[in-house]
Amino acid sequence: MTITRRPARQRILGAARAAASRAGRPDGGGRSSLVAFGALAAADLAAVAGGRPRGMSRAAKPLLMPALASYALRRRTGQDAEVPKTLLAGLACATAGDTALLFDEHEPAFLLGMAAFLGTQVSYTAGYARLGALRGIRRKPWPAVGCLAGWAAANALLGPSLDKRLRVPVAGYSLALALMGAAAIGVGGRVGAGAGAFLGSDLLIGLQAAGHELPSQETLIMAGYLLGQYLIVTGWLDRRDG
């Protein structure tokens, strides 16, 4: 049995490595990866809209951010062309968060997902600094100040409705999210618009955690998140290549 299993395992690992290599092979465009992202996003939104926000019906969800990472890698013009490491790190953390939040009816999964997305916010903020976020904030500081004021207001309003064990983690994560939003506003363009959609999505999650339900809330959360990530990634790469 050992003799027959080992080659089969090696074939599976070899096929996985080959698929990963193809997914990251530069072609100067990466359109196939965006098509894959669109198909996965449609499948996931259909599952959510159909009233299946958790479990295996949403198997497409953990593949969404890897599709955008594949786009970032394939868009390069050659193997030696640089790809933003902070962007890939943020997408990797988002993949972990997406997977954990499939099971977020359990508090440990919710906290694990929040921790993973904290990595996304920190990675993105570091990347925005290299895109000129600080210069943009110096020129127009008030939108960034408004983002932080919004964080303080949201926590003051929603904090008392949260479970006591969640208040500090939510406040810390939402501060990192607000800083990411402020930095994205400094970058501007599609990056800023994408961060706005991301912030809106997470605000809906905060309302949900505080016990405030809205019509089609799950669908709106996912739609805002997907739009935000798409705009951030494409805007980031356009600015890098511009």
**Residues 130, 115: contact at Cβ < 8 Å?**
no
Residue 51 lies in a domain: no
Residue 162 lies in a domain: yes
- What is the per-residue pLDDT for 17? 45
Please give the Cα distance from 166 to 210 (Å, whole number): 10
Please give the Cα distance from 158 to 7 (Å, whole number): 55
Using alpha carbons only, give the angle 152, 216, 181 rounded to the nearest 5 degrees: 30
Using alpha carbons only, give the angle 196, 200, 206 rounded to the nearest 5 degrees: 140
SS3 per-residue string spanning 196-214 = HHHHHHHHHHHHHHCCCCC
Q: How many domains does the chain have?
A: 1
Please give the distance of CA 10 from its chain centroid, rounded to a whole number: 32
Residue 160 lies in a domain: yes
Q: Average pLDDT for consecutive 10-residue bins of the chain (242 residues)? A: 51 42 58 95 92 73 96 78 89 96 78 95 96 94 92 91 89 96 95 96 90 89 97 93 70
Residue 34 lies in a domain: no
- What is the per-residue pLDDT for 15? 39
Q: Residue 165 is part of which domain span?
A: 80-241
- What is the per-residue pLDDT for 147? 92
* Kind plus residue range of the DSSP H or E element containing 181: helix 164-187
**Residues 125, 191: contact at Cβ < 8 Å?**
no
SS3 per-residue string spanning 32-43 = HHHHHHHHHHHH
Residue 181 lies in a domain: yes
Residue 41 lies in a domain: no
CB atoms within 10 A of CB 23: 18
Region for residue 83 given its phi and psi (left: phi exceeds 0; alpha: psi -120 to 50; beta: otherwise): beta
- What is the per-residue pLDDT for 209? 85
Query: pTM of the predicted model, to two decimals?
Result: 0.86
- What is the per-residue pLDDT for 12? 37
Residue 188 lies in a domain: yes
Residue 163 lies in a domain: yes
